[in-house]
Amino acid sequence: MSQDRDDDLLLKKNQVAGNGLLDRRLFLKKGLQFSAISTLVSTATLASATAETKKEFDPANPTWMKQPGKAFSPYGLPSEFEDDVLRYPSPNEVVTGNGVSWTPLHKMEGTITPNGLHYERHHNGVPQIDPKQHRLLIHGLVKNDLIFSIDDLLRYPMQSKTCFIECGGNSNAGWNSQPHQAEAGYFNGMVSCCEWTGVPLSVLLNEVGLRKNAKWIIAEGADAFAMQMSIPIEKAMDDAFLALYQNGERIRPENGYPLRLIVPGWEGVLNVKWLRRLKVTNRPVMARNETSKYTELQPSGKSRMFTFPMEAKSLITSPSAHMLLKEKGLYQITGLAWSGRGKISKVDVSADGGKTWAEAELQQPVLDRSLTRFRLPWQWNGKQSVIMSRATDETGYVQPDRNKLIKERGKHGFFHYNAITRWQIDTDGFVSHIYENDETTKNNSDISIDSGWD
Amino acid sequence: MSQDRDDDLLLKKNQVAGNGLLDRRLFLKKGLQFSAISTLVSTATLASATAETKKEFDPANPTWMKQPGKAFSPYGLPSEFEDDVLRYPSPNEVVTGNGVSWTPLHKMEGTITPNGLHYERHHNGVPQIDPKQHRLLIHGLVKNDLIFSIDDLLRYPMQSKTCFIECGGNSNAGWNSQPHQAEAGYFNGMVSCCEWTGVPLSVLLNEVGLRKNAKWIIAEGADAFAMQMSIPIEKAMDDAFLALYQNGERIRPENGYPLRLIVPGWEGVLNVKWLRRLKVTNRPVMARNETSKYTELQPSGKSRMFTFPMEAKSLITSPSAHMLLKEKGLYQITGLAWSGRGKISKVDVSADGGKTWAEAELQQPVLDRSLTRFRLPWQWNGKQSVIMSRATDETGYVQPDRNKLIKERGKHGFFHYNAITRWQIDTDGFVSHIYENDETTKNNSDISIDSGWD
């Protein structure tokens, strides 16, 4: 009973929204709050600290303290005990080397994506490019065509920018009529965030010299698909850059080695990998991925095309689908928010299905067009609960709920799904994905989302 | 001759310090500067863009565009063409599992260290710890002893902080009587920078409840060496935290998996890996690494002990030792600066051996106790030149030159070497390490620095 009294006291003093959402500054407080949490967490803690635990703790006990450990490694890898923290590939079964692999957002913390877990989206596999043979050609509506080797580019001034890259098709299962039941990262994990370093595109465009009628740039990749995408000249001259490094080391093959175009905040497909050619033109190339794909008929009868920036979005990564809360008590609700239009200004969290909201703590510094980590303590009372997050970016744009998104965009979308995601925690602690006005969809059959990748 | 005229024009318009240091905003400028640079770099570029290059560029030519690429990978690795970007191990030959491995700073860009390249310092190898068996005990001068499992800790509120960790013995070859000739990272690369995520230590100390006479915390690791270090209670309650994640994924084994104490800005040895025990005491434990090591007799006759914060320091990573500049012309001087006392406020660069200085561009945002990337364009005239960098931190502390450091600390130091490093570029473009008042040390015999690691 003392446990329950402490829980009540904790709630009475710190609840900031319905169903147990607590003050985000809770853990900065001293005294009563701590004794209350202490009882709470220590109960869990000491419960696990049984006699057997104490035996385990015998200083002489762990085998790894009785023998020398492993040797130095020239290039390190994760612990063998983390061998389930992996990208989840969804290859297209009818097109060789086509498909995606998802970043396991639900098993990660912080904001940086380690290079080994950055999501993949390929149209014809990962080319193994020899950087000594690779060249970049800039031509078209320019004063001098120029060809650059990688060694040439390494002499240019560089800049670093931490930013997310999100596939325009990320979270497309959200368009399904029934809520997709999979781990959070395995249908929302086509977004990753790294520190990219390279040469500002404006420097090279100034060097080749743009002609008056230069309006677009066609970027081409050196993969067997020869990806082509069109980028407006204004964006190319603004903040686009040619990345050679990813989180301090050279770019990974699956992310464009040796050279990738970075177009901060815009659809992933525009961040052309294995970049070999930039053709300056007066109109878009109207390639497959800007016509048959990335073009969507709207309820209005008009089509969306060239929908470049990724809209503000957020996702609770823990607790999230397929996790199990072992007991009622204190938990941290945490997740990620991002916007292709700038910085995240706030993230609201609800634990009562959207009736009431509380503002989450944002990990500082909040960076432009980067994943932003949010956190809020939550006292789960053991009852069925629906948790959700809602991002607002610095332009004032607010992440929509699903009904609003479908009303605007129709039911048959595939790209740019950024609606609020609802996780339902059942009385047994199991977490599942639900839609609003729908509390009974846990057992729907899983819907394949591979078909979209071609 | 037009080449030389362009070089002269570029210098005349943009030189900000002796021997070709150029305005850090150079590449934001339009027009003349660009045409000058264009000629300059394009000459190099187009020189390499010979007929053979153009044949190479034939769109149908690269083999990797003629066949599907490699499949998806659940956990990615660097390109096979980057297999020389590795940590450089210096194992102690007489003590098993003891030694260091260096981060290849000279082959990296940006500020983040990828987890596979974070430097290593072990005393008895890397324990392979089962996180389900691992426990953390907090005891001593506390109101309640508590034992935490990793699952317990994962329920606590977390914070992320990007910060460097630098071994107190980093750059110790700088104390040698002759300049150590090795790549920049292979004697200064015991510093790395990651985004660490975990539980604030103050939260757990508030939970166990400190007694009045609590003054120090003894942190103990679960390796066979059973590392012990003493940390003042004020730092423990200020910004120390228990890291579970490194750059988004769980900590690597060689960096403390499953739990590492992070003490931002302080000697690496205090950031105890494989953390298993925190004993609250009223005095330091006086362990081996705070008495026989990390204690140094000064010219004054007194000894330095408990020298916790790492002083402000900087290093030019490119051009740096053992690199070869193929031709005179435009280069980017870039490197890293950091301070254990806060943010870097500026980095000055000299290309004339310290006669004149210019302020470098600092990559934004500049973060507290993190690696800070600096860059400045440089026009190398092909003559023998000495380049160097000098960091100033937000406390006003200025990185000392080597003579000043030795005057204060004596000639027989091993720890906390943070003097200005001088790189000499010879007329043949080869870069070597020199000391001030010493232009002829390229050919000195290499001095082993392994002996210090025991």
Tokens (6 digits) for B84:
């020389």
Tokens (6 digits) for A275:
């970049």
- Work out the end-to-end distance of chain A between its first and last CA atoms, rounded to an integer number of angstroms: 58
| Residue A32 confidence (pLDDT) | 38
Tokens (6 digits) for B111:
């500020």
Check: CB of residue B242 under 8 Å from CB of residue B259.
yes
Query: Which pTM does this prediction carry?
Result: 0.93
| Residue A182 confidence (pLDDT) | 96
| Residue A31 confidence (pLDDT) | 46
Q: Does B212 touch chain A (CB under 8 A)?
A: no
Residues of chain B with pLDDT below 70 are 1-3, 29-60, 438-454
| Residue A35 confidence (pLDDT) | 40
Chain A residue at shortest CA distance from B107 = A249
CB proximity list for B14: less than 8 A, separation 6 or greater: B22, B23, B26, B29, B33
Q: State pLDDT tens for residues A184-229.
A: 999 999 999 999 999 999 999 998 999 999 999 999 999 999 999 9
Q: State pLDDT tens for residues B102-140.
A: 999 999 999 999 999 999 999 999 999 999 999 999 999
Beta bridge partners of A377: A332
Pairing between β-strand B385-393 and β-strand B344-350 as defined by DSSP bridges: antiparallel
Q: Does B250 touch chain A (CB under 8 A)?
A: yes
Instruction: Determine whether B354 is exposed, middle or buried from the number of CB atoms within 10 Å of its CB (0-12, 13-18, 19+).
Output: middle
Q: State pLDDT tens for residues A34-63.
A: 443 444 444 444 334 444 445 545 555 789
Q: Across the interface, do A76 and B112 touch by the CB < 8 Å criterion? A: no
Pairing between β-strand A275-281 and β-strand A135-140 as defined by DSSP bridges: parallel
Residues of chain A with pLDDT below 70 are 1-3, 29-60, 438-454
A contact test, residue of B27, B45, B55, B72 with most A CBs within 10 A:
B72
Of B1, B377, B36, B53, nearest in space to A146 by CA: B53
| Residue B159 confidence (pLDDT) | 97
Q: Does A396 touch chain B (CB under 8 A)?
A: no
Q: Does B114 touch chain A (CB under 8 A)?
A: yes
Sequence-ordered strand ranges (E) for B303-421: 303-304, 313-318, 329-338, 344-350, 358-359, 361-362, 372-380, 385-393
| Residue A448 confidence (pLDDT) | 44
| Residue A444 confidence (pLDDT) | 43
Respond yes or no on whether the N-terminal peptide bond of residue A365 is cis (omega within 30° of 0).
Answer: yes
**What dotted CATH number matches B120-305?**
3.90.420.10
Residues of B in contact with A30 (CB under 8 A): 206
Q: Across the interface, do B64 and A159 touch by the CB < 8 Å criterion? A: no
Domain locations in chain A as residue ranges = 120-305
Is the Cα dihedral A44, A47, A52, A57 positive or negative?
Answer: positive
Residues of A in contact with B131 (CB under 8 A): 79, 81
